[in-house]
Amino acid sequence: MKILITGTTGYIAKRLIPVLLSQKHELVCCVRDLDRIPKDYIDHPQVQFLEIDFLSDKINDLLDDDIKAAYYLIHSMSSNNSNFDELEKTCALNFKRLVEKTNIEQVLYLSGITNDEELSKHLSSRKQVEHTLASEKYALTTLKAGIIVGSGSASFEIIRDLTEKLPVMVTPKWLNTKTQPIGIRNVIEFLQKSLLKKELYNISFDIYGPDILTYKKMLLIFARKRKLKRTILTVPVMTPKLSSYWLYFVTSTSYRLAISLVESMKVEVVAKKNNVAKLLDIQPISYEKAVESAFDAIAQNILISSWKDSVISGNMSKKVSKHINVPHFGCLKDIKISSFESRKKTLNKIWALGGKNGWYRYTILWKIRGYIDKLVGGIGLRRGRTHPTKLQTGDVLDFWRVLYASKKEGRLLLYAEMKLPGEAWLEFRIVKNKLYQRAVFRPKGLWGRLYWYAVLPFHSLIFNGLIKSITRP
């Protein structure tokens, strides 16, 4: 059957799409930017892509009448906009108006558990979206999950950062809040098996794992699985703002996501029991098993998706395509050229930049720049990268976003998502036996120019060291 997918480049959709394709479904995938299509599906015979911005009221009637069901997986929890609840409502309304003009039978919506009497702004927004999506034209099935545990998920990466970096943690009291985590494997099972299941039409239900744990207990279990000894002290004096800063500086999360998480973590997220898992023949896995599965995936370099790859994890306000053509006029540039012996070896070094591999030379200076970025509210270096050696358009690479990546053409183009008084690009291009490395900065006003000349002495070290390290035999 033909199925509509929203949130195509997001964490959940990237996991769901291969499962649906394996069952021979045809997929119509909505993306805000056609330049961010996952390369594995560009020419896939079962996949069609549509460029749709659900925040825009000007959406053409692009959908075919033979679409049977749709997955609503749009989520803006980590958006830099403080009014993300209004944005989510707008997206839901525009989506509803679009699909109501078709013959869609079912819409499946992944939400959050909202059983507590006092909900955070994030969870309230999720509940509001559920009400908005309800329709007389199609059946709505709402699956409500708490903490999702899987390689690349925001919650998993935050727990990992905290546990691996801090032998002793002085933590806010909300670490004693109870939650009921669920493994990403089970989430995908519920989404897939709920498809056109008439028993689940026009109902909402919680999906959950077997364990009810405090966040503190989750951290300690994680530490035990990693064979780490950790001490956690909870104190009542950390305000929500201080807690947000604590998460922001210690982990790879953005400040906006940290705020949303802290607000949500104060709310008990325990599921209401139901028999849906039994109905769908799903066996929920334990938190420990979910953690083990996540590390198995990491060890085998089969990380399918990461929350960091979402555009809203950075500060890119425009489409990727708007940044691909690096400007020339009014820009300041640092261009380096170096010969090399092996094209393959050089490309492999370029494609392995950042993350745990570092920047080959003067990595400490890159780290200092990342720390400064954190201090001024930026994303810093801690986002790392999804895969140690593979890159594609839309991926994150520390505080960069990949705009273009083609080994065949010998070109990698990065766009800076750090806090800057202007815009910055870093390009690597191979022409014959030479590597051209180009840093381009388009300053915004006087402060932008002052910034460029202030960091120019460091550029000489960093960029010279970088190209020499890449091209040396």
Domains, the chain:
2-303 (3.40.50.720), 324-471 (3.30.530.20)
Distance CA 374, CA 149 (A): 26
**Structure tokens belonging to residue 51:** 């460029």
pLDDT of residue 110: 94
pLDDT of residue 314: 46
φ, ψ dihedrals at 66, nearest 5°: -90, 10
| Burial degree of 292 (CB within 10 A; 0-12, 13-18, 19+) | middle
Q: What is the 3-state secondary structure (H, E, C) of the chain?
A: CEEEECCCCCHHHHHHHHHHHHCCCEEEEEECCHHHCCHHHCCCCCEEEEECCCCCCCCCCCCCCCEEEEEECCCCCCCCCCCHHHHHHHHHHHHHHHHCCCCCCEEEEEEECCCCCCCCHHHHHHHHHHHHHCCCCCEEEEEEECCEECCCCHHHHHHHHHHHHCCEEEEEHHHHCEECCEEHHHHHHHHHHCCCCHHHCCEEEEECCCCCEEHHHHHHHHHHHCCCCCEEEEECCCCHHHHHHHHHHHCCCCHHHHHHHHHHHCCCECCCCCCHHHHCCCCCCCHHHHHHHHHHHHHCCCCCCCHHHCHHHCCCCCCCHHHHCCCCCCCEEEEEEEECCCHHHHHHHHHCCCHHHCCCCCHHHHHHHHHHHHHCCCCCCCCCECCCCCCCCCCEECCEEEEEEECCCCEEEEEECCCCCEEEEEEEEEECCEEEEEEEEEECHHHHHHHHHHHHHHHHHHHHHHHHHHHCC
Amino acid at 298: I
pLDDT of residue 339: 93
Distance CA 177, CA 157 (A): 19
pLDDT of residue 422: 87
pLDDT of residue 312: 46
pLDDT of residue 300: 52
123 Cβ partners below 8 Å, 6+ apart?
Answer: 112, 113, 114, 116, 264, 267
| Cα 415 to Cα 7, 17, 325, 404, 424, distances in angstroms | 22, 27, 11, 10, 6
Label residue 152 left, alpha or beta by phi (over 0 means left) and psi (-120 to 50 means alpha). Answer: left
Residue ranges in the chain modelled with pLDDT below 50: 78-79, 301-303, 307, 311-317, 320-321
Distance CA 322, CA 247 (A): 32
Beta pairing, strands 178-179 & 213-214:
antiparallel
Distance CA 379, CA 373 (A): 7
pLDDT of residue 348: 93
224 Cβ partners below 8 Å, 6+ apart?
Answer: none
Residue 48, Cα to own-chain centre: how many angstroms? 22
Maximum Cα interatomic distance, the chain, rounded to a whole number of Å: 66
Angle at 43 between CA 41 and CA 46, to 5 degrees: 70
Neighbours of 160 (CB within 10 A): 21
